[in-house]
């Protein structure tokens, strides 16, 4: 006779397409390291099946999960509740099941904040954020909640930049300005953190340059990138050559996983185990 349970606890990632997303590798490495009999499944969900997929998630007792493009906004009507951050960001990338309710959270910005806080304090910092897409929106909200002093948004498309700046100024009055991005952007003399949250540099476009005036990097700047693959982007290589401190996008991804696992299991995962699992994948 055996008293062993053959029923693993389940988490999932919903996306479309999703096959190239390596989140499963780092989350399952953390589950194993914690000695948990939990699985994290990468599941392709077509947009027209999202509602049924969330029904299935409930019916099969999934404990939590992530959702990625194109579901981050579309999933909201199928959930029971949003965290304040998810509400402010207007998108969900993390779902937790709690007493038969599904709660939508957004860990994109929190993952970034946690990794940057390991090197510097956000309070009163003057931050320049390149990009105005989903990642920028999440990072901006969390940085403003963490009391950065001023945020300058810089985006190629003026309409998208304006829409984000207006949204942020409604939530955090007078703390955000928008600058246009024509040609190489000169980093402002009073900027302390410069963050690339555009998709420039993501594999396979690894040699694409973030258009920033090369001579305007200063050694006292902290330069951050959201691109997880490859972690050492051309942008960070330029910043390193200029003597800046840098932060890569792998830390943001790993910390999102740590936050997700805490939400689902209540346990503190080991970020080093997770980062090593991802690094193995990216070096395959
Ligand atoms: P979006 O498509 O929502 O936004 C893309 C942004 O990049 C827009 O601001 C767009 O500007 C800008 N952009 C793209 N190409 C160029 C270019 N050639 N010149 C200037 N601007 C450009 O994407 P997301 O915000 O969702 O994601 C952005 C990146 O963040 C992705 O590469 C993703 O991998 C990464 N990411 C990393 C995470 C992590 O954990 N490390 C988590 C989430 C995302 P415009 O408005 O003008 O088009």
Confirm or reject: Cβ of 253 under 6 Å from ligand 1: yes
Confirm or reject: Cβ of 200 under 6 Å from ligand 1: yes
In a shared domain, residues 126 and 101: no
pLDDT of residue 115: 96
Rounded Cα distance, 41 and 32, in Å:
14
Confirm or reject: Cβ of 274 under 6 Å from ligand 1: no
In a shared domain, residues 48 and 136: no
- In this prediction, the answer to ipTM > 0.90 reads yes
Q: Which residues pair with 139 in a beta bridge?
A: none
Residue 278 lies inside a defined structural domain of this protein? yes
Q: Is the pLDDT assigned to residue 89 strictly greater than 90?
A: yes
CA dihedral 133, 17, 76, 89 (to 10 degrees): -20
In a shared domain, residues 230 and 272: no
Q: On the CB side of 118, how many CA atoms lie within 13 Å of its CA?
A: 13
Q: Point out the catalytic residue in the list 72, 110, 125, 262.
A: 72
Residue 241 lies inside a defined structural domain of this protein? yes
Rounded Cα distance, 246 and 116, in Å:
10
In a shared domain, residues 14 and 93: yes
Known catalytic residue: 72?
yes
Q: How far is the CA of 190 from the centre of ligand 1 (A)?
A: 25
166-224: pLDDT as tens digits? 999 999 999 999 999 999 999 999 999 999 999 999 988 999 999 999 999 999 999 99
In a shared domain, residues 201 and 157: yes
Say what angle helices 23-34 and 271-282 make with each other, to 10 degrees: 140
Q: Which domain holds residue 77?
A: 9-106+251-282
In a shared domain, residues 203 and 275: no
Cβ–Cβ under 8 Å, residues 100 and 166: no
Q: Is the pLDDT assigned to residue 282 strictly greater than 90?
A: no
Pocket test for ligand 1, best of 156, 212, 224, 229 (most atoms within 8 A of CB): 156
Atom of ligand 1 nearest to the CA of 134: 25
Buried b (16+ CB within 10 A) or exposed e, 172-187: beebbebeebeeebeb
Cβ–Cβ under 8 Å, residues 14 and 45: yes
CATH number of the domain where residue 94 is located:
3.40.50.10860
pTM of the shown model: 0.94
In a shared domain, residues 118 and 241: yes
The domain tally of the chain equals 2
């Amino acid at each position: 006779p055996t008293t062993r349970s053959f029923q693993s606890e389940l988490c999932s990632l919903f996306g479309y397409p999703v096959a190239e997303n390596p989140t499963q590798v780092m989350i399952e490495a953390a589950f194993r390291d914690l000695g948990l009999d939990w699985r994290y499944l990468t599941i392709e969900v077509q947009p027209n099946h999202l509602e049924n997929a969330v029904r299935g998630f409930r019916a099969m007792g999934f404990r939590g999960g992530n959702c990625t493009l194109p579901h981050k906004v579309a999933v909201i009507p199928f959930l029971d509740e949003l965290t304040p951050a998810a509400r402010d960001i207007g998108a969900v990338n993390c779902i937790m099941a709690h007493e038969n309710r599904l709660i939508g959270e957004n860990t994109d910005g929190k993952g970034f904040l946690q990794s940057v806080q390991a090197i510097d304090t956000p309070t009163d910092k003057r931050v320049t954020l390149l990009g105005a897409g989903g990642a920028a929106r999440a990072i901006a909200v969390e940085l403003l909640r963490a009391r950065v002093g001023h945020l300058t948004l810089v985006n190629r498309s003026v309409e998208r930049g304006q829409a984000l700046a207006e949204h942020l100024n409604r939530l955090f009055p007078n703390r955000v300005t928008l600058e246009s991005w024509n040609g190489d952007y000169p980093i402002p003399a009073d900027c302390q953190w410069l963050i690339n949250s555009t998709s420039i540099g993501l594999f396979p476009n690894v040699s694409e340059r973030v258009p920033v005036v090369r001579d305007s990097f200063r050694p006292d700047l902290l330069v951050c990138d959201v691109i997880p693959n490859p972690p050492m982007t051309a942008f960070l290589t330029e910043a390193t050559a200029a003597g800046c401190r840098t932060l890569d996008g792998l830390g943001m991804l790993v910390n999102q996983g740590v936050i997700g696992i805490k939400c689902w299991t209540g346990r503190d995962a080991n970020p080093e185990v997770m980062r090593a699992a991802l690094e193995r994948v990216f070096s395959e």
